A and B are shown apart, each in its own frame.
Chain A
């Protein structure tokens, strides 16, 4: 089993839709969780950190479920510009600073 797993998608949704992605992780001792956005042929960019209490940034909401060992990203009112690949990242067991990345979930928002 991979340490961090994501559904590769693609998720194909119309503008204005709400879409959610999950990311499961295997290390119950993981402490830090992140969502990154990666546009085609570009570097990953931090979208948001995921806190235990959940957090929201505009149309984006991230949540952590420690019991089931997954994090989620909810995007409301999808825009064409949200089309990208979304990577989750979890800190590695033996280090607080090394991250393990999922392979990413591709989102396509259509007009």
Chain B
């Protein structure tokens, strides 16, 4: 099992460009999440999908959109990148429901916006 995979690993964008970060999980998890991590700020939730067909805003959704393509895949789109979106982006998944709900993370995408 690959667990949670993310592409690309690295990306450099110019201000105003758009891109989509891809995430897939093979653990048959119901819930998926997108976080950003900045120095001193910890992990902040951007968007999440509790189950296939649903998406909701997290703590810092502005400037982002998401698509839960199917149970396995959850993508994050930056429509018009800004330097403030320079960060490391992590996708995670969990079983969802009322269990212990530990989350498992992908390797991350390092994004620089110039």
Contacts and interface: CB of A to CB of B under 8 A. Distances in A.
Given A87-B43, A97-B96, A103-B42, A43 B108 contact: yes
Contact of B45 (A42, A98, A102): A98
Interface residues on A, range: 20 to 34
Interface in A32-66: 32, 34, 42-46, 49
A32 B99 CA distance: 9
A34 B104 CA distance: 12
Given A44-B43, A96-B97, A101-B42, A49 B102 contact: yes
A101 B43 contact: yes
Contacts, number: 49
B107 A42 contact: yes
B101 A99 contact: yes
Nearest to B110: A41
A101 B92 CA distance: 13
Interface string B25-68: 00000010101000011110100101000000010000000000
